[in-house]
Amino acid sequence: MRQLHIITDDENGFMQERKQLQEEVSSRTINSVVVNNAEKQTQTIITASSLGDKEFKRDYKLKYAYATGSMYKGISSKEMVVKMGKVRMLGFFGTGGLEIPQIEESIQYIQNELGDEHAYGMNLLFNPIDSKKEEKAVDLFLKYHVRTIEASAYMAITPPLVRYRASGLERNGNGSISIANRVIAKVSRPEVAEAFLSPASERIVEKLMQENKITKEQARMLRDIPMADDICVEADSGGHTDGGVAYALMPAIIKLRNEMMEKYQYSKKVRVGAAGGIGTPEAAAAAFILGADFILTGSINQCTVEAGTSDEVKNMLQEINIQDTEYAPAGDMFEIGAKVQVLKKGVFFPARANKLYDLYRQYNSLDEIDEKSKKMIQEKYFKRTFDEIYKEVKLYYPPEEIEKAERNPKQKMAFIFRWYFGYSTHLALSGSPGHEVDYQIQCGPALGAFNQWVKGTPMEHWKNRYVDEIGVMLMEKTANLLNERFQTLTQID
């Protein structure tokens, strides 16, 4: 039978003292944790130069894990690349739409200014219409020993890209492979990322060997390395875009990277960076929290002193907000319906470009289009006749492509409509007065966010925006923001 225990006064006093002691111990423990956390925060404070992957910064001789992406027609100019290199950041020159002599002159300028101790890169743009342009660009890069390229707009790996990767490969004494030519691939789809995370295809490698463009030893080494050293995940950006969401893309591509590393047992980690929509410290901080090894900006650099576009364009861009962009067909991939993000505030280009694409999809030839639409296009959009434009088109398309157009009325219509995209780009770059409504200005909402961030400061006006100062400021403010967020998240009630 259970006995009833009566608590005496002495026992009651003892229990109260014990409870008080336990509370004091608990309080000291909590205070100790808070102090330790504070000490850890002080010891592990985030700085602008500590953000990102250490190996990435070491490989490219960088102080900051920050790059400026290429913008076509040299908008990301040679001056911009040099400015970035001198503060130990990585800038890419925009080769798209430029002729080989223009690219060559820019390489010479950049190499003369930066030497071997500073980083720089050149853009290699996928060209589904004229692959010879890609081949000539690779020839030039190899001639001048350009060691870093940004491969952009690729939908599949091409022979020129593989040839660039193969050149300079060497087998070290311990069996490892030394890679001379680095590739940073901008991707917005997992299947394209997978292609760059894989070794070069045997079909392309065999073809290049048969053409004596690579050696047998280079072919063997290509089997043991990925096509890219680094992947830059491009979310909803200015210019070519799939309208991806960074919060979905980054985890998916990082997971894919890990799986491909496991599958091929690469000796060196392929880094994953983030681009698209980065124009404020909050956006950059989100990218690093998502796991980015580096960040790459684009749109915000188009509205700087160094950007190779007209003052008229910069005046327009400094006024935009985040809602002032829209999607339009990509001129270089018009037939397949690829999209670019462009400025819509104050211009008619997006509406007119989308109208042209709708007509292309609806009809098989210019003759099938109703007379009212044809008159509107020639008088308001093009300001010249279809025949006049076709004479121009025949001068810069390869003869074999013109032969196809002569046999296929729909292809001829595509070439004539494509002319408008080059025309609208030229108007913007030259700042042609009276033609502002037809300016094609590729831009994303990141610039609108940046404009709001710097409102009320000297950087509100583009003439006070220098690409190197923007980069350093963005990284420093991002580090400060992450420190603040970390302290907030680790507070104990």
What are the pLDDT digits (tens) for 86-99? 999 999 999 999 99
More confident residue, 457 or 26: 457
> Is the pLDDT reported for residue 32 higher than 80?
no
Alpha helices in 115-179 (DSSP H): 131-143, 159-166
> Is the pLDDT reported for residue 367 higher than 60?
yes
**Contacts (Cβ under 8 Å, ≥6 apart) of 257:** 193, 197, 231, 270, 272
Q: What is the mean pLDDT of residues 385-405?
A: 91
The CATH number assigned to the domain with range 54-309+462-477 reads 3.20.20.70
> Is the pLDDT reported for residue 114 higher than 80?
yes
Q: What is the mean pLDDT of residues 413-426?
A: 95
The two beta strands, 170-171 and 177-178, are antiparallel
Q: What is the mean pLDDT of residues 226-234?
A: 98
Report DSSP state, residue 300.
G
Whole-angstrom Cα Rg for the chain: 28
Q: What is the mean pLDDT of residues 247-276?
A: 97
Query: What's the angle, vertex CA 240, arms to CA 237 and CA 244, rounded to 5?
Result: 50
Q: Within 10 Å of residue 384's Cβ, how many Cβ atoms?
A: 14
Whether the model clears a pTM of 0.85, i.e. scores above it, the answer is yes
pLDDT at residue 493, rounded to an integer? 66
**Closest to 297 measured CA to CA, from 84, 115, 55:** 84
Confidence class for position 22, pLDDT limits 50, 70, 90: low
Q: What is the mean pLDDT of residues 427-437?
A: 95
Q: What is the mean pLDDT of residues 169-175?
A: 91
pLDDT at residue 151, rounded to an integer? 97
Q: Please tell me the distance from the alpha carbon of residue 6 to that of residue 222, in angstroms, as a whole number.
A: 84
Q: Exposed, middle or buried by CB within 10 Å (0-12, 13-18, 19+), for 282?
A: middle
> Is the pLDDT reported for residue 480 higher than 70?
yes
Q: Look at the chain and count its residues.
A: 493
Q: Exposed, middle or buried by CB within 10 Å (0-12, 13-18, 19+), for 383?
A: exposed
More confident residue, 463 or 242: 463
**Closest to 47 measured CA to CA, from 485, 415, 422, 480:** 480
> Is the pLDDT reported for residue 5 higher than 50?
no
Confidence class for position 250, pLDDT limits 50, 70, 90: very high
pLDDT at residue 40, rounded to an integer? 46
pLDDT at residue 9, rounded to an integer? 46
> Is the pLDDT reported for residue 135 higher than 50?
yes
For all residues of the chain together, what is the average pLDDT? 91
pLDDT at residue 38, rounded to an integer? 46
Confidence class for position 457, pLDDT limits 50, 70, 90: very high
Q: Within 10 Å of residue 91's Cβ, how many Cβ atoms?
A: 33
Phi/psi zone of residue 88: left (φ > 0), alpha (ψ -120 to 50 degrees), beta? left
Q: Please tell me the distance from the alpha carbon of residue 390 to that of residue 125, in angstroms, as a whole number.
A: 25
**Contacts (Cβ under 8 Å, ≥6 apart) of 444:** 236, 237, 238, 239, 241, 276, 277, 298, 299, 325, 341
The two beta strands, 148-152 and 170-171, are unpaired
Q: What is the mean pLDDT of residues 53-66?
A: 97
Three-class SS of residue 466? coil
- Phi, psi at 478, each rounded to 5°: -65, -45
pLDDT at residue 120, rounded to an integer? 98
Write out the H or E segment, with its range, that includes residue 56.
helix 54-59
Q: Where in the chain is the domain with CATH 3.20.20.70?
A: 54-309+462-477
- Residues of the chain above pLDDT 70, percent: 91
Predicted confidence (pLDDT) per residue in 203-212, tens digit: 999 999 999 9
| Cα–Cα distance list, 189 to 11, 177, 229, 245, 399 (Å) | 72, 28, 17, 11, 33
